[in-house]
Amino acid sequence: MVKEKRVIFDEERCKGCELCTTVCPRNIIFMAERINTQGYHPATVKSEDQEKCTSCALCARMCPDTVITVRK
Ligand code: SF4
Ligand code: SF4
């Protein structure tokens, strides 16, 4: 069974500032290899790391472009 993601990135809107990667207490956010349509490496979380997310929402609060949605 596929679990619902806890943290979701609207990757096409990410500007690659990396702020979210610095605040995650679980250290699961990283910059993807691929490049989005704006020309940035978007922040993301691997599906296998989703269950490590505590839904603390620090990343979402830090993001200047409201790219990140966190579910409980
Ligand atoms: S909600 Fe918290 S634990 Fe989950 S990815 Fe964001 S900063 Fe990390
Ligand atoms: S803080 Fe927002 S814009 Fe910056 S890298 Fe993270 S998701 Fe992208």
Domain ranges of the chain: 7-70
Report pLDDT digits (tens) over 40-64: 999 999 999 999 999 999 999 999 9
Residue 69 Cβ < 6 Å to ligand 1: no
The pTM for the full model equals 0.94
* Residue 1 pLDDT class (50, 70, 90 cuts): low
Q: Are 26 and 7 in contact (CB under 8 A)?
A: no
What would the CATH number be for the domain defined by 7-70? Answer: 3.30.70.20
Report pLDDT digits (tens) over 11-44: 999 999 999 999 999 999 999 999 999 999 999 9
pLDDT of residue 72: 87
Give the integer Cα–Cα distance in Å for 58 and 46: 18
Q: Are 7 and 21 in contact (CB under 8 A)?
A: no
Q: Give me the chain's average pLDDT, please.
A: 96
Pick from 46, 49, 58 the residue to mutate for probing ligand 1's pocket: most ligand atoms within 8 Å of its CB: 58
Residue 52 Cβ < 6 Å to ligand 1: no
